[in-house]
Homo-oligomer: A and B are copies of this chain.
Amino acid sequence: MSISPALGVCYYPEHWPEEWWEKDAARMAEVGIKYVRIGEFAWSRMEPTPGDIKLAWMIRSMDVLGKHGHKVIVGTPTATPPRWMVDKHPDMLAVDANGNRKGFGSRRHYDFSHLPFREESARITQILADALSDHPALGGWQTDNEYGCHGTTYSYSPAALDGFRKWLASRYGSIESLNEAWGNVFWSMEYNSFDQIELPNLLITDPNPIHALDFRRYSSDQVAAFNKAQYDILKAKRPDLPVIHNFMSRYTEFDHYDVAETLDVASWDSYPIGHLAVSDEPDDIKRQYMRQGDPDNAAFHHDLYRTVGHGRWWIMEQQPGPVNWAKFNPDPLPGMARLWAWEAFAHGAEVVSYFRWRQAPFAQEQMHAGLLRPDSEPAPAYEEALQVAQELKQSGIDGQVEKARVAIVFDYDSEWAWQVQPQADGFKHGAHVRDIYAAFRKHGIDIDILSPKTKSFAGYDVVAIPALFAWTDELREAVASFEGYLLLGPRTGSKTKNFSIPARLGPDLSPNLLDAKVMRVDSIPSYVSIPVKGGGTTRLWREKVETRGEVVMEDNEGVPVLISQGKIFYLTASGDRALMQRIADYLIAEADLPVLSLPAGVRTRSRGGFRVYVNYSASPATLNAAADESGYVIGGAEIPAAGVTVARLAKVG
C-alpha cells in the first residue's frame, strides 16, 4: 500500500484569523498541494482548561481544507501540553542530567517515564480520534512531534528512576543476574537489590558502560511505549488510515526501528541547510554546501526511514528557505526547495510536505521561512513547490523504489555504545555508516539501509556492517548464509550485548567465517593520520589483529588495514574519505557492480522507470548519459546549479 508522489504543507489555522482559511486553502490547491498537516501544537486551543474540549474550530478548518481537495493529517498535540497540565502534574517535567527540573515555556516539556502524563496523552488522542475519525478530509494521523527533539529522550527524574529499576528487574530477573551481566564486581559496584540502582548521572567518573547503555535502552523503550499508546487508539477507529511520526536528521537517542513497530509510515523533517550547520562535518564541507546541505545526508535519511517505515515514508517537514535554529541560517540556493523534493521522491517518498505555509510573525520560529512571507506574499519556495507539483504530473513518476544491490546496517545500539565508550574521541557508528554510504553513492549506486534485525542478505551483492556494537542473532544468521561480499569493521562484533569483550575477542565470528582476533586498539589523536600503501590514511581508530586472513591493504607501518577471508572483508581502522573510497571501489570491482560516472556534486537515485539526477553544487554540470537511459523527461544533460534532471530508464528485456 503506497500512494502516488504528492506535495503537502504544514498549516496552523489557529495562528490566523478564521477568515483567511478559505483563501489559504485555495492557494494551496493552486500550488498543487494535496496533504495538509494541522493540529500538532494546538492543545491549548483544543482544551483551553482541563476537560473543556474545543474541537469545533478544528472541524471547521478541516471542512475548509477538504472543500479545496486537501487531505488532512491531524497531529496529536502531545509535544506541547498546556500550562494547566503542569499544575495538574508538576512532576511531568523532565529532569536534566544536572538534576534540574525543566520548566514550561517552550515545548516537549514532558518526561516519557511519567505514567500519568502518558495517560493524558492517551486521553487527548482518544478525544481526537473520537471527534475527527469520521471527517471526510481526514487523511491520516501524526503522533506527537519529533520525539526526542531538544534532547528530551532522557530524563533523570524520580519517574525515570522508578521505571528504570522496574525495567532492569524485568530484563535481568534477579539482582545477582544483573551484577553478573554488568560485571559489578568491578569497583564494588554490586547491588543488593534493584532499589539500589541509580540513574547514571552526576557520578564521580564514568558509569559502568552497560549501566549507561541500559539506561539508553530503557529510555528508548519509553518512547516506543508512548507512541504505541497513541497508535493503538488511532488505529482502533480507522484501521485504513496511516499513523505517521515525523523523525529527524542524525537523531539517534531512541531506536527508531522499535518506535516504528507501531507506525504505518515513517516520515522525517528535512532541513538540509540547518542539519549541515549543526553537524560536525568539517568546515570546508560546511562552506561548500552552506546553501544546499550535505549532498549525501538527506539521501541517507531517505533510505534509512524507508526501512524504518517498512517501505513507506514521507517528508513531513521540508525546509523552504532559511531556518531559525542554527547559529547561522543561510538562504538556500534558488532551486533547492525543488531539488530536495525531487530527491526525496526519487528515494521513494510518498509525500513531501513543506514546513510551513506562512511564516509566523510571532514567537520562537518567526525567523523561519514558509511558502508565504508573513505578509502573505509568496516566498521563493512558493514557485518552486508549484514547479515540483507540475513536474510530478509531467514526468509520470510513480511506483516503488526497487531493492538495491548494496546495503549497509545501521544500528541504534551501536550509536549509543560508542557514545558511551568512544575510546577515540569522535569515533561514531553513524559516521562509519555514512562514509561507506557516500563512497558507494559516488558511483551512482543505490543503497538500502538495513536494521540489525535483518535475517537475510539474500539479493544483495555487497553488504556492509560497520562498527557494529554486538551481533544480533538475526545478523549472525544473515552473515552465515550470505553469498555476496561482506564488509565488516572496524569494531564490528567487539562487544557482547552486555557490553563486555567477547570470549574470542572481536569481531567474534566463527573462524571458518573469519579467523581474526582484535588484540589491541590504537586510538590516535585527530591531528595524526597514518598513510595507507596505495592511498588514503587511517585516522582515530586502528586495530592490531591476529588473523589467518589475507591482507588486502596495509599501512606504511605494515599494519593490515583490510583483511579478507573468502568474500568476508574486515576493515581494521577508520579512514579518511580517500581510504573509504578505495575500500568501496575495491568491493565494487570484486562484486562487478555497474557504476555511473557522475560530475562532482551530482547525485542520483532511481525509482520505478526513472533515474533522478540532482546537482548539489553551486555550478552547472554536464551529465554523461548512461546506457540504460532513454532520454530525459525533466531537464537535460546540462544540469544547472541546484538543478534536477530526470531520465527515463529503458525497459530491460
Contact = CB atoms under 8 A, between A and B. Distances in A.
Interface of A: 14-15, 41-45, 48-49, 77, 80-84, 87, 94, 96, 98-109, 149-150, 152, 182-192, 196, 198-211, 277, 283, 286-287, 290, 321-322, 324, 327-331, 359-367, 369, 373-375, 377, 379-380, 421, 423-425, 498-505, 517, 519-528, 540, 542, 544
A198 B103 contact: yes
Nearest to A186: B363
B182 A362 contact: yes
Closest 10 A/B residue pairs (Cβ): A183-B362, A186-B363, A44-B188, A361-B501, A327-B425, A80-B188, A331-B522, A44-B190, A183-B363, A150-B205
Which of A183, A283, A363 has the largest number of chain B CB atoms within 10 A? Answer: A363
Contacts of A517: 375
A502 B364 CA distance: 15
A328 B207 CA distance: 19
Nearest to A149: B205
6 contacts: A84-B192, A186-B362, A287-B527, A361-B501, A367-B421, A379-B520
Nearest to A425: B327
Nearest to A380: B520
A102 B203 CA distance: 5
A23 B500 CA distance: 23
A374 B82 contact: no
Given A105-B200, A423-B367, A520-B369, A80 B187 contact: yes
B103 A188 contact: no
Contacts of A324: 423
A525 B186 contact: no
A321 B520 contact: yes
B330 A523 contact: yes
Given A328-B524, A526-B328, A105 B203 contact: yes
Contacts of A199: 103
Given A322-B521, A366-B500, A525-B328, A103 B202 contact: yes
A105 B329 contact: no
Contacts of A501: 359, 361-362, 366, 374
Contact of A98 (B100, B182, B330): B100
B183 A374 contact: no
Contacts of A528: 287, 290
B290 A328 contact: no
A188 B45 contact: yes
A502 to B, nearest CB: 8
B82 A188 contact: yes
Given A42-B188, A204-B107, A544-B331, A360 B287 contact: no
A50 to B, nearest CB: 10
Contacts of A380: 520
A382 to B, nearest CB: 12
Contacts of A359: 501
A322 B188 contact: no
A81 B189 CA distance: 9
Nearest to A503: B375
B104 A198 contact: yes
B208 A105 contact: yes
A209 B363 contact: yes
Contact of A425 (B41, B81, B104, B328): B328
Given A83-B189, A198-B103, A367-B421, A322 B362 contact: no
Contacts of A366: 209, 499-501
Nearest to A374: B501
A329 B424 contact: yes
A121 to B, nearest CB: 14
Given A98-B100, A200-B105, A500-B362, A330 B524 contact: yes
Given A83-B196, A375-B503, A524-B330, A105 B211 contact: yes
A614 B144 CA distance: 64
Contacts of A363: 182-184, 186-187, 189, 208-210
A36 B498 CA distance: 30
Nearest to A324: B423
B107 A205 contact: yes
B424 A328 contact: yes
Nearest to A79: B187
Nearest to A42: B188
A368 to B, nearest CB: 10
B183 A83 contact: no
A24 to B, nearest CB: 16
B523 A192 contact: no
Contacts of A99: 100
Contacts of A361: 183, 500-503
A202 B100 contact: yes
Contact of A204 (B106, B189, B502): B106
A586 to B, nearest CB: 26
A253 B440 CA distance: 53
Contacts of A503: 361, 375
Nearest to A423: B367
A544 B83 CA distance: 38
Contacts of A327: 424-425, 525
A522 B44 contact: no
Given A504-B375, A517-B375, A83 B191 contact: yes
Nearest to A207: B105
A369 B519 CA distance: 10
A217 B283 CA distance: 38
